[in-house]
């Protein structure tokens, strides 16, 4: 038996969190590419904040506003230059109330 | 921004950084601590179980004012398949002692408290400040840091890198390698709020007593992973984590895993009616002894998760972080007292002291476990949990089948799925890695 997961929207989960977004200064960027590598494509499923998505040309795009700064995408895709990863400026980004 | 030169700069105000800054400041060193979060703890995630002995070595009377949730009197270890759990429960009234051994905590609150202690000890703590770069002199010695605040570099005799698992500074400066996807786990966690009485009723605890559940099995969908449920005073921390390499290979979504865990028939009644107030994600170092990097060099030391000092087998991290921070600080205080420079040679003492502590001894004991679990995850996390459930159910259903036949059926099921040789080799390898 598998357990049905109904109405699961990550956006609703992220809505609980506190963020201080730094407008116009995304801390993660995806390098332009023709078609994404396996790791880059995996991020569209495994980023816990669902920041990565495929556009209609099959390329991976990021909207880093809900990012929890976990570092998973950095571990998978920074070393070969597929993404550029920095911490947000001091004080910005996710602000855990409980952690 | 800051003109003076410090004895030490600590990067990060998590468990390891606070321990290091506290010990150095208490011993009269002029310490600057830099934290990128709005307040200490705003970037940090933990289960969280906190171990009293390691904090006592730093702040002996911490129980007087530290924000502690519940002290643990019961621990449950569950092996789960889709519809069942088989568990070992250990509960003892001995844990109701004057100075309890383990507590649940809420990291954002705990880190704020610890940071206040650091400031009271005399350190300068600057939040909302991301350290962007290490500054080195012509001989390549680390002599300070640059931050994202206006102004030039800030100088110190030694920099303590307490920057946590993803530690950009050390990896970018080439002091250590980036963690590999198979040596870090990604964990997601939610905070479920419930009235105190409800938690006490559901877990059979009273007052400050607490209970924790740790779970393995099909909940991680063949990946190497662990689910957890920890009781706080008025909330339940609930989460699940698996190796990043396994996530990348299976493309499972962590939030789908978390929701399935929450909906498991054994978990759902425990959190029924709760209000979720936060969803968090964080990495955990899982590489063990083999993943420990170079720990010190000219003008720097690295402590805590940044140094991969985390015992994944026993789910201990904060205590290794606090202890490595304390030991690094004691080493630095020693070098300073002798008026020696903070060179690689003089800082070797940090590693020597750490090697002799439980931190490295424990990690060395389990040095082969990460590889074993990684290469066998589908057996350990799916096959065996299903078999264990089958065996228990077979034993417990009373249906007129003679017991001897039931036992034979159970043995057959194990052999069919894993073969005699597979079972023996898994057992031997597990025993060797555990030894
Ligand atoms: C879900 C989960 C459950 C866990 N459960 C437990 C448990 O029950 N018990 C246990 O003992 N351990 C547990 N751990 C492990 C424990 O949380 C860690 O081992 C511990 O927090 C490590 O402490 P640290 O000081 O090394 O790093 P962290 O606590 O991560 O602190 C690093 C700090 O450095 C700051 N920082 C990083 N880079 C910079 C920079 N460039 N400039 C300024 N500041 C910077 C960060 O903002 C952060 O405050 C758990 C971990 C997770 C993720
Ligand atoms: S750091 Fe974590 S949450 Fe942020 S984009 Fe990367 S994977 Fe997603």
Residue A25's pLDDT is 92
Counted domains in chain B: 3
Residue B304's pLDDT is 98
Chain B residue with minimal CA distance to A75? B181
Query: Taking a C-beta distance cutoff of 8 angstroms, is the pair B232, B103 a contact?
Result: no
Instruction: Please count the residue pairs, one from chain A and one from chain B, whose beta carbons lie less than 8 angstroms apart.
Output: 151
- Residue A49, domain member (yes or no): yes
Indicate if B114 and B257 belong to the same structural domain. Answer: no
Indicate if B50 and B137 belong to the same structural domain. Answer: yes
Indicate if B194 and B263 belong to the same structural domain. Answer: yes
Q: Nearest C-alpha to atom 51 of ligand 1 is from which residue?
A: B46
- Residue B79, domain member (yes or no): no
With both helix axes pointing from N to C terminus, report the angle between B318-337 and B15-26 in degrees, rounded to the nearest 10: 30
Cα–Cα distance list, B40 to B13, B17, B110, B116, B125 (Å): 6, 10, 9, 10, 10
Choosing from B9, B10, B12 the residue with most ligand 1 atoms within 8 A of its CB, the one to mutate for a pocket test is: B12
- Residue B91, domain member (yes or no): no
Counted domains in chain A: 1
Q: Find the B164 Cα to ligand 1 centroid distance in Å.
A: 5
B263 has a chain A CB within 8 A of its CB: yes
- Residue A4, domain member (yes or no): no
Domain end point (choices B267, B285, B303): B285
Would you list the DSSP string of B242-268? EEHHHHHHH---HHHHHHHHHTSTTTH
Residue B2's pLDDT is 60
Indicate if B280 and B339 belong to the same structural domain. Answer: no
What is the rounded distance in angstroms from the CA atom of residue A67 to the CA atom of residue B96?
A: 41
CB hemisphere CA count around B73 (13 angstroms): 17
- Residue B84, domain member (yes or no): no
- Residue B10, domain member (yes or no): yes
Instruction: Tell whether ipTM is more than 0.90.
Output: yes
- Residue A75, domain member (yes or no): yes
- Residue A2, domain member (yes or no): no
Indicate if B153 and B301 belong to the same structural domain. Answer: yes
Indicate if B159 and B266 belong to the same structural domain. Answer: no
- Ligand number nearest CA of A10 is 2
**Consecutive 10-residue runs of chain A (99 residues): their mean pLDDT?**
55 91 94 95 97 96 96 96 96 96
Q: Which residues pair with B158 in a beta bridge?
A: B8
- Residue A46, domain member (yes or no): yes
Domain end point (choices B230, B263, B285): B285
Phi first, then psi: give them for residue B84, nearest 5 degrees: -140, 165
Chain B residue with minimal CA distance to A90? B128
Q: Please name the helix (run of DSSP H) or strand (run of DSSP E) that holds residue B395, with its range, or none.
A: helix B384-396
* B3: CB partners within 8 A, 6+ apart: none
Q: What is the dihedral of CA B372, B373, B378, B384, to 10 degrees?
A: 100
Using an 8 Å CB-CB cutoff, list chain A residues near B147: 90
Q: Is B70 in the pocket of ligand 1 (CB under 6 A)?
A: no
Q: Find the B361 Cα to ligand 2 centroid distance in Å.
A: 33
> Is A45 within 8 Å of B83 when comparing Cβ atoms?
no
**Nearest alpha carbon to residue A75 among B324, B284, B381:** B284
- Residue A1, domain member (yes or no): no
Q: Is A67 in the pocket of ligand 2 (CB under 6 A)?
A: yes
Using an 8 Å CB-CB cutoff, list chain B residues near A10: 255
Indicate if B389 and B425 belong to the same structural domain. Answer: yes
- CA-CA-CA-CA torsion sign (A58, A59, A63, A67): positive
CATH number (domain holding residue B335)? 3.50.50.60
Q: Is A73 in the pocket of ligand 2 (CB under 6 A)?
A: yes
Tens-level pLDDT at each residue, chain B (435 residues): 566 799 999 999 999 999 999 999 999 999 999 999 999 999 999 999 999 999 999 999 999 999 999 999 999 999 999 999 988 899 999 999 999 999 999 999 999 999 999 999 999 999 999 999 999 999 999 999 999 999 899 999 999 999 999 999 999 999 999 999 999 999 999 999 999 999 999 999 999 999 999 999 999 998 989 999 999 999 999 999 999 999 999 999 999 999 999 999 999 999 999 999 999 999 999 999 999 999 999 999 999 999 999 998 888 999 999 999 999 999 999 999 999 999 999 999 999 999 999 999 999 988 888 887 777 777 788 888 888 878 878 778 888 888 888 888 888 888 888 887 777 777 777 777 776
**Residue A9 in 3-state DSSP?**
coil
- Residue B379, domain member (yes or no): yes
Indicate if B245 and B161 belong to the same structural domain. Answer: no
Domain end point (choices B326, B356, B386): B356
> Is A78 within 8 Å of B45 when comparing Cβ atoms?
no
CATH number (domain holding residue A84)? 3.30.70.20
- Residue A3, domain member (yes or no): no
A48: containing domain: 10-95
- Residue B87, domain member (yes or no): no
Indicate if B9 and B158 belong to the same structural domain. Answer: yes
Q: Which two tokens stand for residue B362?
A: 């424990």
Q: Which two tokens stand for residue B279?
A: 């969803």
Q: Which residues pair with B50 in a beta bridge?
A: B103
- Residue B386, domain member (yes or no): yes
Q: Is A30 in the pocket of ligand 2 (CB under 6 A)?
A: no
Indicate if B190 and B172 belong to the same structural domain. Answer: no
Indicate if B272 and B189 belong to the same structural domain. Answer: yes
Phi first, then psi: give them for residue B397, nearest 5 degrees: -70, 125
Query: Taking a C-beta distance cutoff of 8 angstroms, is the pair B227, B214 a contact?
Result: yes
Indicate if B200 and B261 belong to the same structural domain. Answer: yes
Nearest to B108 among A79, A87, A97 (CB): A97
- Residue B314, domain member (yes or no): yes
Secondary structure letter of residue B381 according to DSSP: I
Q: Find the B359 Cα to ligand 1 centroid distance in Å.
A: 16
**Ligand 1 atom nearest to B188, measured from its CA:** 1
What is the rounded distance in angstroms from the CA atom of residue A69 to the CA atom of residue A91?
A: 13
What is the rounded distance in angstroms from the CA atom of residue B396 to the CA atom of residue B409?
A: 13
B196: containing domain: 184-285
């Amino acid at each position: 038996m598998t357990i049905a997961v109904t109405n699961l929207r990550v956006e609703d989960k992220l809505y609980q969190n506190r963020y201080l977004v730094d407008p116009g200064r995304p801390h993660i960027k995806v390098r332009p590419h023709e078609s994404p590598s396996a790791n880059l494509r995996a991020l569209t499923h495994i980023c816990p904040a669902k920041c990565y998505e495929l556009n209609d040309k099959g390329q991976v795009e990021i909207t880093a506003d809900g990012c929890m700064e976990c570092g998973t995408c950095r571990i998978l895709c920074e070393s070969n230059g597929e993404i550029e990863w920095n911490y947000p400026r001091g004080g910005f980004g996710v602000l855990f109330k409980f952690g | 921004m800051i003109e003076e030169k410090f004895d030490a700069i600590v990067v990060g105000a998590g468990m390891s950084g606070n321990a290091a800054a506290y010990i150095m400041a208490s011993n009269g060193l002029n310490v600057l601590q830099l934290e990128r979060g709005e307040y200490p703890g705003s970037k940090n995630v933990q289960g969280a179980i906190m171990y009293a002995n390691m904090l006592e070595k730093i702040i002996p009377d911490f129980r007087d004012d530290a924000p502690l949730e519940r002290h643990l009197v019961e621990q449950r270890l569950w092996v789960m398949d889709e519809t069942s759990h088989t568990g070992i429960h250990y509960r003892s009234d001995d844990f109701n002692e004057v100075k309890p051994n383990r507590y649940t905590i809420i990291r954002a609150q705990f880190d704020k408290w610890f940071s206040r202690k650091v400031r009271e000890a005399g350190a300068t703590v600057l939040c909302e400040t991301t350290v962007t770069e290490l500054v080195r002199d012509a001989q390549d010695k680390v002599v300070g840091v640059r931050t994202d605040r206006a102004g030039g570099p800030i100088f110190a005799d030694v920099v303590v890198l307490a920057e946590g698992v993803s530690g950009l500074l050390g990896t970018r400066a080439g002091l250590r390698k980036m963690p590999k996807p198979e040596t870090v786990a990604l964990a997601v966690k939610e905070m479920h709020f419930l009235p105190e009485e409800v938690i006490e009723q559901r877990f059979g605890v009273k007052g400050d007593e607490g209970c924790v559940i740790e779970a393995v099995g099909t909940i991680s969908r063949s990946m190497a992973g662990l689910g957890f449920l920890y009781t706080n005073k008025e909330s339940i921390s609930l989460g699940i984590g698996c190796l990043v390499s396994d996530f990348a290979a299976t493309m499972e979504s962590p939030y789908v895993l978390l929701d399935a865990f929450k909906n498991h028939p054994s978990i759902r009644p425990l959190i029924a009616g709760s209000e979720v107030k936060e969803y968090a994600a964080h990495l955990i170092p899982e590489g063990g002894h083999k993943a420990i990097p170079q720990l010190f060099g000219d003008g720097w030391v690295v402590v805590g998760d940044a140094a991969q000092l985390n015992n994944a087998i026993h789910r201990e991290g904060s205590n290794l972080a606090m202890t490595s921070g304390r030991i690094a600080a004691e080493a630095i205080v020693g070098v300073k007292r002798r008026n020696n420079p903070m060179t690689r040679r003089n800082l070797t003492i940090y590693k020597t002291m750490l090697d002799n502590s439980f931190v490295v001894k424990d990690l060395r004991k389990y040095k082969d476990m990460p590889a074993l679990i990684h290469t066998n995850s589908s057996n350990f996390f799916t096959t065996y949990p299903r078999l264990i459930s089958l065996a228990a159910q077979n034993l417990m259903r009373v249906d007129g089948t003679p017991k001897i036949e039931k036992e034979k059926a159970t043995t057959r099921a194990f052999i069919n799925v894993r073969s005699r040789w597979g079972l023996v080799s898994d057992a031997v390898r597990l025993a060797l890695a555990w030894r």
